[in-house]
Amino acid sequence: NMLDVIIDNKIDIDGFGACEATLSCSTCHVILSKESYESLPEPVDEENDMLDLAFGLTPTSRLACQII
Ligand code: FES
């Protein structure tokens, strides 16, 4: 998934992916294009709950660790 890509490439985003994809943080919040957002399956309830806590939430926000 996208989080693995970021970790594998050692992209230095401070605090990104803090919970290692266990849906207990919102540090992996990303804002997608409308096209990308619509091409993905709907977020599960747990992801929506964490997204509600994300800073700067948008209608096309997702948690990157949940996007495969
Ligand atoms: Fe914590 Fe994605 S890394 S929810």
Instruction: List, as one string, the DSSP characters of 5-28.
Output: HHHHTT---TTTTTTTTSSS--TT
Is 3 a residue whose pLDDT tops 80? no
Neighbours of 25 (CB within 10 A): 19
Query: What is residue 18's predicted lDDT score, i.e. its pLDDT?
Result: 87
Is 6 a residue whose pLDDT tops 90? no
Q: What is the DSSP string of 39-57?
A: HSPPPPHHHHHHHTTSTT-
* Residue 17 Cβ < 6 Å to ligand 1: yes
The residue whose C-alpha atom lies closest to atom 3 belonging to ligand 1 is 17
Query: What is residue 15's predicted lDDT score, i.e. its pLDDT?
Result: 75
If one residue of 5, 23, 62 were mutated to test the ligand 1 pocket, choosing by the most ligand atoms within 8 A of its CB, it would be: 23
Segment 20-42, tens digit of pLDDT: 899 999 999 988 889 889 999 99
Buried b (16+ CB within 10 A) or exposed e, 41-65: eebeeebeebbeebeeeeeebbbbb
